[in-house]
Amino acid sequence: MPSRLYSKIARRPGKGAERLLGELELAIMRVAWSRASVTVREVLVALTKKRPLAYTTVMTIMGRLADKGLLVAEKHGKTYHYRAAGTREEFEAQAAGQVVHTLLTDFGDEIALRQFVEKLADTNPDQLARLEELARQAQEAQDDG
């Protein structure tokens, strides 16, 4: 039976960051990803155009996002300025890497790899050639390094 983590991620709608972050976390990160630096007040103003939010709610979530490593907080005088620790694409790539690592650890290389290839063949057989190319590039990089 799949673990609750896998089931939880699979049940969420959307793709990538939409599945990995809560609704408010994602809304805050969208603002952070679109700007070089933001304050809690700036995020609050951007988000309250669509729904009412308390300053303390946004502040708490931004603090949690910083604790998770998605935001970097820097104090300027009395105000904290936040910036995204990386792009959305970098976040999604890191998360995908963690999921793959967890699958390999939890189920073993042979089972996880076989299932991945079988599911890829079922859903998008054209991607098997791309997978083969990526595997060849990774092997060459390993041989060179």
The confidence band for 1, taking pLDDT boundaries of 50, 70 and 90, is: very low
Could you read off the pLDDT of 37-74 as tens digits, one per residue?
999 999 999 999 989 999 999 999 999 999 999 999 99
Per-residue pLDDT reduced to its tens digit, 76-135: 999 999 999 999 999 999 988 888 888 888 888 889 888 888 988 888 888 888 888 888
Coil, strand, or helix at residue 53?
coil
The reported pLDDT for the residue numbered 132 is: 87
- Mean pLDDT across the chain: 89
CA nearest neighbour of 15 among 118, 89, 123 = 89
pLDDT at 82: 98
> Which residue would you say has higher pLDDT here, 67 or 12?
67
pLDDT at 131: 87
Q: With the C-alpha atoms ordered 117, 122, 123, 126, is the resulting torsion angle positive or negative?
A: positive
Q: Which of 28-32, 75-79, 139-143 has the lowest mean pLDDT?
A: 139-143
Q: What residues does 72 pair with on adjacent strands?
A: 83
Tokens describing residue 22? 């809560």
| Of 1 and 101, the one with more pLDDT | 101
Answer whether residue 10 shows pLDDT above 50: yes
Q: Which CATH number among 1.10.10.10, 1.25.40.10, 1.20.140.10, 1.10.3720.10 corresponds to the domain 4-84?
A: 1.10.10.10
